[in-house]
Amino acid sequence: MVLVNYERLSRVYDLDWSDFSPKYVGLIKKIFDDHGINQAKILDLACGTGILAAILAENGHHILGIDISPQMIEIARNKSTGLPDTAFQVQDMTKFRVDDTFDLITCIFDSINYVLDPSALSSMFYRVYSALNKTGFFLFDSNTHREYKKYHEAGLARVLGEERFTQSFTYDKNKREATTTFEFSDGAVEVHKQRPYNPAHLKPLLKKAGFKIVNIFPVSAKRQHEISRGRLICLAQKKR
Look at residue 153 in the predicted model and tell me its pLDDT: 67
Same domain, 155 and 68: no
pLDDT in tens, 60-81: 999 999 999 999 999 999 999 9
Same domain, 138 and 44: yes
Look at residue 18 in the predicted model and tell me its pLDDT: 79
196 touches 226 (CB < 8 A): no
Same domain, 180 and 210: no
Same domain, 224 and 189: no
Range of 126's domain? 2-144+197-238
Picking from 84, 24, 28, the residue whose alpha carbon sits closest to that of residue 48 is 24
DSSP characters for 156-183? EEEEETTEEEEEEEEEETTTTEEEEEEE
The structural domain count of the chain equals 2
Same domain, 57 and 84: yes
User: Which residues of the chain register pLDDT less than 50?
Assistant: 221-228
Domain boundary among 193, 213, 228: 193
Same domain, 113 and 189: no
Residues in the chain: 240
Look at residue 221 in the predicted model and tell me its pLDDT: 40
Domain boundary among 193, 209, 230: 193
Same domain, 189 and 212: no
Helix (H), strand (E), coil (C) string for 31-77: HHHHCCCCCCEEEEECCCCCHHHHHHHHCCCEEEEEECCHHHHHHHH
Look at residue 224 in the predicted model and tell me its pLDDT: 40
Same domain, 133 and 159: no
HSE-up of residue 135 (Cα within 13 Å, Cβ side): 7
Q: Euclidean distance between the first and final Cα of the chain, in Å?
A: 50
- Could you tell me the pTM of the whole model? 0.92
Give CA–CA dist 234/228, Å, rounded: 14
Same domain, 135 and 225: yes
Collapsing DSSP states into helix, strand and coil, what is residue 231? strand
Same domain, 13 and 35: yes
Same domain, 71 and 186: no
Look at residue 194 in the predicted model and tell me its pLDDT: 95
Give CA–CA dist 221/63, Å, rounded: 30
- Work out the number of other CB atoms within 10 angstroms of the CB of residue 58: 14
Look at residue 209 in the predicted model and tell me its pLDDT: 97
CATH code, 99: 3.40.50.150
Same domain, 156 and 71: no
